[in-house]
Amino acid sequence: LPQLVESGGGSVQAGGSLRLSCVVSWYDIGSVCMAWFRQAPGKERDGVALARIYTGGGITDYADSVKGRFTISIDDKKNTLFLHMDSLKTEDTGTYYCAAHGGGCYTMQAAPFGYWGQGTQVTVSS
């Protein structure tokens, strides 16, 4: 079965940094759209960043709330997706999920993403 396994969450103070990892165990990460989502208690799951590798390049996109602070990247040799988070704010608190789908990589809506990890908790305190 497809597996996405996240790690790297934790508790940090505002202004700190964390790096999340998501290891993909069944598929060539270079051929699918990958994304990070987050869900705060009582709120919907929102897209944070997405990325896809194409021959000769790739694409990335970010939610406005994280632009300039978060960086998504793919290491296709390790079949791993990363999310480097800097200048963390209390509103970044939530459970972070990585997700994948084989279609076009043009939206951070959750619906097209058919494969999900179990989530990793990020807590940012003031």
CA distance to 15, 25, 73, 94, per residue, from 105 (Å): 30, 20, 14, 24
Q: Which residue has the higher pLDDT, 64 or 104?
A: 64
Determine the pLDDT at residue 1: 67
Average pLDDT rounded to a whole number, residues 49-75: 94
Mean pLDDT of the chain: 94
Per-residue pLDDT reduced to its tens digit, 69-122: 999 999 999 999 999 999 999 999 999 999 999 888 988 999 999 999 999 999
Give dist(CA 56, CA 118) in Å, integer.
32
Give dist(CA 52, CA 30) in Å, integer.
7
